[in-house]
Amino acid sequence: MNWNKLTQPGQIAEIKALSESTPVMIFKHSTRCSVSGMSLDRLLRNWKHGDEEKVVPYFLDLIAYRELSNLVAQEFGVPHQSPQVIVIKNGSAIFDTSHFGISYPEIMDQV
């Protein structure tokens, strides 16, 4: 899986624009949380070659970029959670889930 790293506030506008043609998934990860690590591992184990053509994956390390994580929550109108998956289509969040609710099949059903 080739993650796009979300590290700059300006990338939010890029994500919104990109989502007009291809859905975008943001995975917000806490390196200090075992549940976040398990959710990330489950997602990575299920990710299939070619999924990047269906949804563009972004990775946000919310420990390193907490302010950016808060901005993502504000911009897309979702509560801040960790771990969290947000799916963006046409510039808006159409799906978000967290913790053990993070499910590869459910994410792919949204895209």
* pLDDT on residue 93: 97
- Hey, what's the torsion of the CAs at 99, 9, 7, 20, to 10 degrees? 70
The pLDDT tens digits of the residues spanning 21-69 come to 999 999 999 888 888 889 999 999 999 999 999 999 999 998 999 999 9
**Tens-digit pLDDT profile for residues 60-75:** 998 999 999 999 999 9
Q: Please report the domains of the chain, with CATH numbers, ordered by start residue.
A: 4-110 (3.40.30.10)
Q: Tell me the two tokens of residue 40.
A: 């990330």
Q: What is the pTM of this model?
A: 0.93
